[in-house]
Amino acid sequence: MLYAIISQDVEDSLEKRRSARPAHLERLQTLQDAGRLVLAGPYPAIDSADPGPAGFTGSLVVAEFDSLDAAQAWADTDPYVAAGVYAQVTVKPFKKVFP
């Protein structure tokens, strides 16, 4: 089943994001390589694809996991969690309708 992992950043998270980004992307690449990643990306803090020093306010990952518990466990071990980037992470079942 698909799950949405919705994360909210702490204030001024940009430097923490930068330091943990390689490990974070490596985990996402593993999901992609397994054919389980639907989409992933951050929420820019301003209305721009490249927000520069304004940074980001959170992230969204939609991916396939065996269960809600498995999705939660994956989210809990994200390098952004360990680096203190995220203030809150919510994991919910997701039903893709379009496309």
Write the pLDDT tens digit of every residue in 2-30.
Answer: 999 999 999 999 999 999 999 999 999 99
Sign of torsion over alpha carbons 91, 66, 73, 22: negative
Residues in the chain: 99
Distance CA(9)–CA(78), nearest Å, equals 13
- Work out the pLDDT band at 80, boundaries 50, 70, 90: very high
pTM score of the predicted model: 0.95
- Work out the pLDDT band at 76, boundaries 50, 70, 90: very high
- DSSP codes joined into one string, the chain: -EEEEEEEEPTT-HHHHHHHHHHHHHHHHHHHHTT-EEEEEEEESSSSSS-GGG-EEEEEEEEE-SSHHHHHHHHHT-HHHHTT-EEEEEEEEE-----
Percent above pLDDT 70 for the chain: 100
Distance CA(49)–CA(3), nearest Å, equals 25
pLDDT score at 43:
98
Beta strand 56-64 with 86-94 is unpaired
Percent above pLDDT 90 for the chain: 99
pLDDT score at 86:
98
Q: Domains plus CATH for the chain?
A: 2-93 (3.30.70.1060)
